[in-house]
Structure 1
Amino acid sequence: MSVTLLAQLSDLHIVPAGERLDGRIDTAAGLRAAVATVTGWPQAPDAVVLTGDLTDAGEPAAYAHLRQLLVPLAGIPLWPVAGNHDDRSLLRATWLTDAAPALAAALAGDGEGAAADGFLQYTVPVGTAGLRLVVLDTAEAGQPWGRLCPRRLAWLDRTLARHRDASVIVALHHPPFDSGIAVMDRIGLREGREGLAEVLAAHPQVERVICGHLHRNVHASIGRVPVSCAPSPAHQIALQMDPQAPGGWILEPPGLHLHRWTGPGQLVTHLVPVGRFDGPHPFGR
C-alpha cells in the first residue's frame, strides 16, 4: 500500500529575529518545535503546506527569519498559502529566491496564470500516488477578512477540471464556515462561500479542504466536503462562544496536522501536539 503524508503548519506569525509577538509570544520557538516534530518522525512527509499568516506583519525581516527557521526542512517540498497577515509579493519572493523552481513552475503552470492576477494560486502533486494539492488565495489586500472573487473561483474550477483523475486537497487560509468564535467569524471568509461550495460540488475528486486562521483544531464541512482547520504551533485563539466576547489569544498546547492518504476516499487527519513528551513506551511495560 502506498502512503502519502502531507504535514500542515499554520499561523506561524513569525516576527523579525530577536523579537516576540506582542512582546510576549515566542513564535520562532513555536516554529522550531514544530519543525523538530516533523523532522523527528520516522517517515518524512512528502510535503509540508503552510496555510497562511506565515509572518505577523509581512515585513522583509520577518520573511528572512522564516526562511532561516525552515532550513531543517530542506529536501521536503514546502508549499505556502497567503494569509491576511502576509504580504503576497514578499511571500512569493521568499519562495522564489532560493531553490524553488517547483513553485515557479506551478505558478506559471496554467497559461491563464493565477499569478497574472496577482494571486498566489497553484497546484502541485504530493507524493507519487495520485494526490494533488490545490492552493487557493483568499487574502484581500489591507483587510483581515478573506474573499474569493469570481476570478479566483473560475481559476479553481478550471484547475479541478484539468485534474479530474486525481484526489485533491484544497488549501486556503480563511475557513469557509462560521466557527462560533464571533471575533474570528467577523474576519473569516466574507465573500465567495457559496461560489466555493458550487465549485466543490461540481468536482467530486476534492476530498478535503484545509485551512488555518482560527488557531484551533476545528472540523466542519462545506457541502459534502470535510474541512479541517489546523492549530498554530505558537498560540491559539481563545475558545469564547459568547458573541459579545472581545476575543484574545491563549497559550494552549501548540499543534499541527498530519494528513495521511492511501487512495481515493482514504484521507485521515491526525492532530499532532508540538513539543517533547515522555515516550513512546512499549505496551505492557
Structure 2
Amino acid sequence: MLIAQLSDTHYLTDGRKLGGEFDTGKAFDALIDSIKRQPVQPDLILFSGDLGERATAAEYADLGRALRQFGIPVRAVPGNHDARGPMLAELPDMVKSTQSGHLCLLETGFDLAIIGLDTSVEGQPHGALCAQRLGWLEQTLKDLGDIPVLIFMHHPPIKTGLQAMDDMGLIEGRAELREILAQHGKIQAILCGHMHRTIQGCFAGISVRVAPSSSHQIAFDIRPDQPYRLVGEPGQYMMHLWDCENGLISHTVPV
C-alpha cells in the first residue's frame, strides 16, 4: 500500500501570497503536478491539516477539485488554520464528523485501518484532545481489535525542540492519549503536520513522523525563546509504503 501524506499547504486563492512572500496557490499546483508524475500512484492521500490559510469555502472548493482528479480516496483532518464547517461543506467525501462535531474519521477500506484525529481548537494555534475525542478514539481502537492501525493528526504529540512551535503543539490530552495508545499494540505510526519540517520521534512506543509543508518550511532553530520563522526551503511531501511484513517505510519527496 502506498500512502501520500500532504500537509500545511495554507492554500490561498486568487494568487494572494502568504505574508506577502509565499505563493501557496502556486505551490499547491506544483504539488499536484509532482504527484501526477509519480510512476506509481498512491492508493490513498492523507492530508494532515492546515489545508487552507483563511478557511474559506473557496479555498476548500479549489483544493477538493484538484485532489478529486486523482480518482483515489482522500482523507483529511483539520489544522489550526482550518475551520470545520467549511471543510465539511466543501469536502464531504474527505472528512467525517463525529457526534460531538469533531472531524475524526475511520477508514477501513484497506488492510491497514486509518484513523484521523481532529486536534483543532478553532481560533487557537495549539492542539487539544478533549474527553469526547479521546473517548471516540478509545472506542474505535477497541472495535478494531487486532487490525493494524495508522493514525494521522495535525499537532504532533511529541516535543521537537522547536520551542515556539512546541508551545503551539498538542497541549491538552497528551497524557490520556499516551495511555490509550499504549493499550492497543497494533498502531504502526502516528503521522502529523504543523511543524513545517520533516521530524521523527516516538510517543507511547510508537513512531511519530512529522511531514514538512508542501509550500514553505519553518527554520530549524533550537535556541530557546526564539520566535519561529517561515523560510523558503523547498516544498515537500511524504510517501509511506506499508505492508504487514515490513511495517511503514517513509520517504520525503521534494515538490
TM (norm. structure 1) is 0.86
Unaligned runs of 5+ in 2: none
Equivalent position to 2:107, from 112, 120, 124: 124
Map 1:104-123 to 2 at 5 A.
107=96, 115-123=98-106
**SS of structure 2 residue aligned to 1:174:** coil
Shift of 1:69: 3.5
Cα distance between partner residues in 2 of 1:65 and 1:23? 21
Shift of 1:264: 5.4
Alignment-derived partner of residue 161 in structure 1: 142
Judge which range, 82-91 or 262-271, deviates more. Answer: 262-271
Equivalent position to 1:86, from 78, 82, 85: 82
Map 1:177-256 to 2 at 5 A.
177-256=158-237
- 2:37 aligned with 1:40, yes or no? yes
Shift of 1:126: 5.2
| % identity of equivalent residues | 37
Shift of 1:265: 5.4
Alignment-derived partner of residue 3 in structure 2: 6
- 2:60 aligned with 1:63, yes or no? yes
Cα distance between partner residues in 1 of 2:109 and 2:239? 13
The answer on whether the counterparts of 1:55 and 1:85 sit within 8 Å (CA) in structure 2 is yes
Alignment-derived partner of residue 270 in structure 1: 251
- Cα RMSD of the aligned pairs, angstroms, is 1.5
Report Cα offsets for 1:47-102 as digits up to 9, x if no partner: 100000000111222223323433442x1111111100001111111112xxx3xx
The amino acid that maps onto 2:208 is V
Cα distance between partner residues in 2 of 1:126 and 1:257? 21
Count of matched residue positions in the alignment of Structure 1 and Structure 2 = 255
The answer on whether the counterparts of 1:15 and 1:57 sit within 8 Å (CA) in structure 2 is yes
**SS of structure 2 residue aligned to 1:45:** coil
- 2:6 aligned with 1:23, yes or no? no
Cα distance between partner residues in 2 of 1:33 and 1:9? 13
The answer on whether the counterparts of 1:208 and 1:228 sit within 8 Å (CA) in structure 2 is yes
Unaligned runs of 5+ in 1: 108-113, 275-285
Equivalent position to 1:257, from 232, 235, 238: 238
